[in-house]
Structure 1
Amino acid sequence: MPETVLVPLDGSPLSERALRYAIEKFSKAVITTIHVINPADSLIDVEMGGLPAASNWYDRAQERADGIHTSATEFAADHDLDLDTVTEVGRPARAILEYADEHDVDQIVMGSHGRSDIERAILGSVAETVTRRARVPVTIIR
């Protein structure tokens, strides 16, 4: 059994399912959730709303991260577990892999995707990259 489990959360139903799975299967492990704020998302804000909309993208992204972690923490508390939560800034796959390496994570549990099919085709799959490059076992939840 792993002692430390990392669960990347992006707010999607599959990432929530991954957290549920991790809590059920690895209840004795230290579970950490990670949400990665991707600076590339600010480009979408510029395209959709111009520079004024992009000027506070980070504040909105941080609020979203806080909400995701709060929901996860409450869910874990309902199962008598404490979670560690982390928010990183960067490219999601890279940030997840770096965190796992730097903190001696034993297992990663994540949803198979959080984006639409079109976004995944254009941007690539974070889960795919993590699975290929991780130095620890990765469980993909579908």
Structure 2
Amino acid sequence: MYENILFPYDDSDGAAAVLHHAGELAHWADGTITLLYVADTTQHSVTRVESSVVDGLVDHGADVLEPGAATLDSLDADYTTDIVQGTPAETIVDYAEEYDQDLIVMPTQGRQGLSQALLGSVTEKVVRLAETPVLTARTVEGDRLDFPYEDILLPTDGSD
């Protein structure tokens, strides 16, 4: 069912917590996780500088992925890693489609308050844009997501 699971990873606490959950899901589904880092090379400060800065962003991505890979190693999960460049939300959606991902798993934590209102969240944009199913998970400090699920809320508006 979920043989190919895409997990866009950054260095946030939410991503680290939800990655553990995604690892359990992949184990249950006998699937493989692609741990993806998107180097946001569309920022104004990046587009005006030399390629050495872009190379630095890609190198930073490799450093960011290391703890995620260590988490998946500890769970004995099958995974691959990849680093791509672009606008995060759109790049994640395009990657999922191009590489036939069955599911995208993302945390809901990130920007809050005015920053979230003005810029929106990457997760929210991915949910709106993706044709690939998206599983969002929110963690509360001190709580751990348990899998498999006991209760699932499925909101619907009755449309096709």
**TM-score, normalising length: structure 1:** 0.83
Where structure 1 has 5 or more consecutive residues not aligned to the other structure, the ranges are 46-50
- The match for 1:20 is 20
- The match for 1:39 is 41
One-letter amino acid of the counterpart of residue 76, structure 1 = L
Verify: 1:77 aligned to 2:79, yes or no: no
Provide the C-alpha distance between the structure 1 equivalents of 2:9 and 2:42, rounded to a whole number of angstroms.
17
Aligned length: 135
SS in 1 for 2:93: helix
Provide the C-alpha distance between the structure 2 equivalents of 1:41 and 1:82, rounded to a whole number of angstroms.
33
The higher relative CO (CA closer than 8 Å, separation ≥ 6) is in 1
Q: Which deviates more, 82-91 or 99-108?
A: 82-91
Q: Which deviates more, 72-81 or 92-101?
A: 72-81
- Quote the RMSD (CA, aligned, Å): 2.1
Verify: 1:104 aligned to 2:100, yes or no: yes
SS in 1 for 2:101: coil
SS in 1 for 2:20: helix
Q: Which deviates more, 132-141 or 86-95?
A: 132-141
**Which runs of at least 4 in structure 1 moved beyond 6 Å after TM superposition?**
none
Provide the C-alpha distance between the structure 2 equivalents of 1:8 and 1:60, rounded to a whole number of angstroms.
19
Where structure 2 has 5 or more consecutive residues not aligned to the other structure, the ranges are 139-160
Structure whose CA Rg is larger: 2
Of Structure 1 and Structure 2, the greater helix share is in: 1
How far 1:71 sits from its partner (Å)?
A: 1.2
Provide the C-alpha distance between the structure 2 equivalents of 1:123 and 1:59, rounded to a whole number of angstroms.
26
Q: Percent identity?
A: 31
- The match for 1:9 is 9
- The match for 1:126 is 122
Q: Deviations over 1:30-52 (max 9, x none)?
A: 11011111124462x8xxxxx8x
Asked if structure 1 preserves the Cα contact closer than 8 Å seen for 2:7 and 2:105, the reply is yes
Asked if structure 2 preserves the Cα contact closer than 8 Å seen for 1:5 and 1:105, the reply is yes
Q: Which deviates more, 131-140 or 86-95?
A: 131-140
**TM-score, normalising length: structure 2:** 0.75
